[in-house]
Amino acid sequence: MEFPLLTVVTFLPMAGALLIAFMRREEESAIKGASLFVSIITFCVSIVLLLRFDASAAGEYQLIDAAAWVPELGIGYRLGVDGLALPLVLLTTLLTPVALLASWRSVDHRVKEFQIAMLVLETGVIGVFLATDLLLFYVFWELVLVPMFLIIGIWGGERRIYASVKFFIYTMAGSVLMFAGILYLYVHVPGGEQASFDLATIIGARGLLGETEQLWLFAAFAIAFAIKVPMWPLHTWLPDAHVQAPTAGSVVLAAVLLKMGAYGFLRLAIPLFPAAAVVAAPIMVGLGVIGIVYGALMALAQDDMKKLVAYSSVSHLGFVVIGIFSLNEAGVTGAIYQMVNHGFSTGALFLCVGMLYERRHTKAMADYGGIAKVTPAFAIVFLVVTMSSIAVPGTNGFVGEFMILLGTFTRCRIAVAISVVAVVLGAAYMLWMYQRICLGPITHPENRRLRDLDGREWACLLPMIVFIFLMGLFPGPFLETMAPAARAICDDPDLAGAWAGGLGT
């Protein structure tokens, strides 16, 4: 029997959480160390997963773990990894120890519960990316909701209860619609002699669905995924959640959780309902463009650093949406690439904001200014991360945005033209934030005593900086894994003749 590598990488954090649950609450340092150790071991196992992955067959599921769960009902335990899931799993396993290390000092109450919540969250996210059974996917999807709700609601800011409840209600509303769609597929799309939740089986039998059924089911799944992305106008939970969440929560939320929505479109909504995806593509691209511009304009209006970065995520994820619904290989590959890029660039931005907050306990940009004079190392790192977010050539953001715009250009030139204008707005708000925080005279005496980056903070930021330049200067190895997965999605015969000129060319 082959070693169940996917099961191990998925449930190792959960096992660590159970271990920590039996540790004494007073042993805070030991609890933090155990949690960090488990997350690092999980990352090492994911590296083994990378080494065993065959990039030449990245468009197919590999290293499959499968077992009967409730065979009488057609419910199975099925995990698989392809070129779409692999980079997101690696992103999750890398950023979880980074987030835990970032919270080493800032989380000083209910430490045991926080570490457990973070590890359970990691299991849920990895499970979402690896599940190939619809019911199992839904179980992991819902599992993610609980620890993130607690992380915001217990360890967040002053309005943490409001933000956590809003996050829970939005996400749960979308999840209910998706679950209704899953049950409909289970009942109306039989797999062989018995109904099944197996994703491949249902995709193979999707021809049993009529055009109207596809449209309604696509809408049910799309709303759930659009909330998680989040797409305009379902984005309003995100700024509140980011502002109130602790630094570790913001990093994981921005870098990993938002990708679950985009992943859902690529893994479920489009392959299950390709005809509906073609019909909806112009609408989705239109909403994506609105999100790009709206997020950029709202970011320009912010005085709070965290809220600015939160709205920048709305704008950046808008690019991912238009890349996905270009429904061609260049655009979809760029969208996958940008999903990972956003994890590093925006995750690093939230780390930088959190480090400033630990020093001054304020997120208002007006309370800073000129800190490059006293924290030169921080200022350099912050500049690199800012350049990545702006998508300056040589950084990771440029490759993803270029491919997205290239793919979308063949579908809708108007959308590309508007998006390019929003790129300029993105440069404006990011450089404006950097100028207000790091440049100019020191106007607040408190800032003269700020300490520069210490060893722990360098350990958090260095992996982000490395991947910002690695993915920006050497995209080839990453694209070799992602492109076959994108090609497998776009080569679907039911996507042939996908929308052309739906919004004008």
Buried b / exposed e over 313-336, threshold 16 CB at 10 Å, is bbbbbbbbbbbbbbbbbbbbbbbb
What is the chain's mean pLDDT, rounded? 88
Domain ranges of the chain: 1-224, 273-491
> Could you identify the residue written with the tokens 């290239």?
406
Q: Is pLDDT above 90 for 100?
A: yes
pLDDT at residue number 193: 56
pLDDT at residue number 504: 42
State the average pLDDT over residues 307-313. 90
Residue bearing the bigger pLDDT, 42 or 442 = 42
- Tell me the per-residue pLDDT of 361-383, one tens digit each, with 9 for 90 and over: 888 888 888 888 899 999 999 99
Q: How far, in whole angstroms, is CA 424 from its chain's centroid? A: 24
- Tell me the per-residue pLDDT of 253-294, one tens digit each, with 9 for 90 and over: 888 888 899 999 999 999 998 888 888 888 999 999 999 999
Residue bearing the bigger pLDDT, 155 or 28 = 155
Distances (CA, A) of 452 to 9, 250, 353: 36, 22, 14
**28 is written with which tokens?**
């805070």
Do the Cβ atoms of 206 and 189 come closer than 8 Å? yes
Contact residues for 365 (Cβ-Cβ < 8 A; gap 6+): 303, 304, 305, 308, 433, 436, 437
- Tell me the per-residue pLDDT of 388-431, one tens digit each, with 9 for 90 and over: 998 889 998 888 888 998 888 887 788 888 888 888 888 899 99
Q: Which residue stretches of 22-159 are H helix?
A: 28-52, 85-102, 111-130, 134-155
Q: Is pLDDT above 70 for 502?
A: no
Least confident window among 131-140, 193-202, 320-329, 494-503 = 494-503
Q: Is pLDDT above 90 for 156?
A: no
Nearest to 59 by CA among 496, 487, 490: 487
DSSP strand pairing (62-70 vs 75-81): antiparallel
- Tell me the per-residue pLDDT of 3-20, one tens digit each, with 9 for 90 and over: 888 999 999 999 999 999
- How many angstroms separate the CA atoms of 77 and 134, rounded? 10
Residue bearing the bigger pLDDT, 353 or 189 = 353
pTM (predicted TM-score): 0.91
Contact residues for 450 (Cβ-Cβ < 8 A; gap 6+): 359, 360, 371, 374, 375
Do the Cβ atoms of 369 and 442 come closer than 8 Å? yes
